[in-house]
Structure 1
Amino acid sequence: MPSLREPLTTYGFESNDEYAFAVRCWLDGPTAGVRALNLAGDGQRRKTAFAHALAQALGFTQILYHDFTDQHPPLPDVILPPSQDELGRTEPPIEPLDRIVSEACAQSEGDLTVLILDQLHTADFRQHLRLHRLLTECVWEVRGGSYVANPKRLHLMLLSDEPLYHALRQESFRLWIGRQSERQQPYQPADFGLGPEAQPLFTALPPLFDVLGVVPTHHELTRLLSDFRLQVCTLEQLRLSLYGRLEGVEHAALRDPLHQGALAQVWEAVQSWLITEHIEVAEVPNETNSAHER
């Protein structure tokens, strides 16, 4: 499987980490039932962004989503009138989970389908048991009726902030999605179209990122460098730019006295870079003036 970094970025999830190997294990590993990907980690809603981006990057025809914490789930496309038995008792509406899982089973008969189940740790344990049966037997029962999934076309993504029920965990492939990238990229000025005059800045940035506990992506650093060049005029504005551009940075960390030395070094490097850049621009000959002089 080729790299997933660029396709994931295209669909809204940017990371320095490569997920192609783990995804290949999920898709190609032996299984007799429905394939499930367990997204674990401290990424919180970043896991949600990853799930949706991955589903689109892999080309799933049908992408269905259910959040167990949603108090107002979307209404179905067709709302059936309430039915009554011979005693006049009204049958309660179908639960949102039953509706979307049964839809996923039906869609899997003809389309490559993925069902994303978010905040699974908040679900009733009985739903975990039912999901385990879906994975192993490809069956979802609703009020005595059975919906059968096509295991070749239906895939599940299980998002939970807590460890899954043991049996569910055994039937899924687990992938860690953290609050930020784990892989540090050794960026160089040339990666951003800059010359050697920016090297002191690129030397000063990694120690600051280390003390702040952040791992910037290429996109984040591109925007940060643009701020340095066009917007940042003071040390305080440098702090604001760092907080505004870097996803993992904590506000308190930028004010921590222990981190001010690293901040000052970056600020000094920014000033030196801009002065050098300004001098180089000023030294470029003005072609119009040169023509007049000739």
Structure 2
Amino acid sequence: MSSLRERMAEHGFESNDDYEFEVRCLLESRPRGLRALNVAGDGGRRKSAFANALARALGIGQIVYHDFTATQPPQPEVILPPSRDELGREEPPIAPLDLAVSEACAQSEGEPTVLILDQLQAADFREHIRIHRLVRECRWQVRDAPYDANPRHLLVFLVSEEALYHALHKESYRVWVGRDTALRDWDPREFGLDARARALFAALAALFQTLGQAPTRSEFEHLVEDLRHQIHTRDHLRRALYGRVEGLDHAVLADPRHDTALDHVLTCMQQALRETEHIEITGGVPTDPQPEPRER
């Protein structure tokens, strides 16, 4: 059976980190209410990708998603006509958050469900209190109608760019999802190369260490292919690194202090592959070789 990391990669989230431990702590604990996962980490949508991929990697069929920053939430599948009270006054439409949470509660009655509440830092503080009550009491109130959640089936993933409301944080398990910085010891044979590429892999590891970033397996594989077939200059290498490895800062790559490490990678590439085409270690564009004179 494939690992959790491999299953999450199949669903769009690739990382060198293994989150098996955190998931076991979440799923095998005895909760007082609903199991809630607080997804913290670096900025950007990497946390959102993590939450979605984890839900799918766990094999959960029902995933209900709500983004607090969405200005135009998706239309429901069935649009009900406006309702009126006993005095004939038209009631306001149900808020998107209420629609999402009530749907998740209803789905959890029959099958495993994940409710993803994304960009929670944009929510009003009163909504934080309501979500805390949901996690603690397994109940969501929409006007006068209560919706009960099945604690055996419903998981709640809380994604936020800022710290959660204190009481809500206490009811959840926090996981850090950040940039990959831990370098893995890749074996050249995994990428179709022989022992001559070990020096190249060591040079790449040293470069990534100075850059403060580690590539995932697929990013590293793409980069090796670029080195074999596309990269001929230091500038090419810079562009390929920026194009392939998520999280690398463009200004950091352009820093001349990295020139020596970049050149060392190119030199090791020459020694590893012994390509017939020349790899020019400069900052410019390689010149085309002069054609051989034809005999008359």
TM-score, length basis structure 2: 0.90
Counterpart Cα distance in 1 of 2:43 and 2:30: 28
> Does the CA-based 8 Å contact 1:189-1:199 persist in structure 2?
yes
User: What's the offset of the Cα at 1:2?
Assistant: 7.4
Secondary structure of 2:157's partner? strand
Deviation at residue 250 of structure 1 after TM alignment: 0.8
SS class of match (2:94): coil
Aligned to 1:262: 261
Deviation at 1:5, TM superposition (A): 1.1
Alignment-derived partner of residue 289 in structure 1? none
Aligned to 2:41: 41
| 1:231-269 C-alpha deviation (Å, 9 max, x unpaired) | 112221111111100112111111102111111111222
* Maintained 8 Å contact 1:47/1:159: yes
Alignment correspondent of 2:288 = none
- Structure 2 letter corresponding to 1:206: A
- 1:43 CA displacement: 4.6
Cα distance per residue 1:146-171 (max 9 Å; x no partner): 00111111110000111111110110
Match of 2:235 in 1: 236
Report the RMSD for the aligned CA atoms in angstroms: 1.6
Q: Which residue of 1 aligns with 2:17?
A: 17
TM-score of the superposed pair, with normalisation by structure 1: 0.90
Q: Is the 8 A contact 1:17 1:182 kept in 2?
A: no
Query: What percent of counterpart residues are identical?
Result: 57
Q: Which residue of 1 aligns with 2:207?
A: 208
Q: Give me the whole-angstrom Cα distance separating, in 1, the residues matched to 2:36 and 2:266.
A: 47
Is the CA contact (8 Å cut-off) linking 2:206 and 2:261 kept in structure 1?
A: yes
Equivalent residue for 1:27? 27
Counterparts of 1:278-293 in structure 2, within 5 Å, are: 278=276
How far residue 74 of structure 1 moved from its aligned partner, in angstroms, is 0.5
Q: Quick one: distance in 2 between partners of 1:31 and 1:173?
A: 10
Once the two structures are superposed, residues 77-132 of structure 1 have per-residue CA deviations (whole angstroms, 9 ceiling, x without a partner) of 11111122354421110000000100000000001000000000110000011011
The one-letter amino acid of 1:251's match is: H
How big is the shift at 1:55? 0.4
Which stretch shows the higher mean deviation, 127-136 or 80-89?
A: 80-89
From the superposition, tell whether residues 43 and 181 of structure 1 become closer, same or farther in structure 2 (CA, over 3 Å). farther
What is the rounded CA distance, in whole Å, between the counterparts of 2:248 and 2:267 in structure 1?
Answer: 21
4+ aligned runs moved over 4 Å, structure 1: none
- Residues 1-294 of structure 1 correspond to what in structure 2 (within 5 A)? 3-178=3-178, 180-275=179-274, 278=276
Unaligned runs of 5+ in 2: 278-296
Give 1:196 shift.
1.3
Distance 1:147 1:225 in 2: 53
**C-alpha distance in structure 2 between counterparts of 1:272 and 1:89, whole Å:** 80
- Provide the secondary structure at the position in 2 that maps to 1:90: coil
Letter aligned with residue 265 of structure 1: H
- In structure 2, how many angstroms separate the alpha carbons of the residues matched to 1:12 and 1:43? 18
Give the counterpart letter for 1:76 in structure 2. Answer: P
The letter for the 2-side match of 1:164 is L
| CA contact 1:68–1:117 (8 Å) conserved in 2 | yes
Is the alpha carbon distance of 1:58 and 1:43 closer, same or farther for their aligned partners in structure 2, counting shifts above 3 Å?
farther
Aligned length: 277
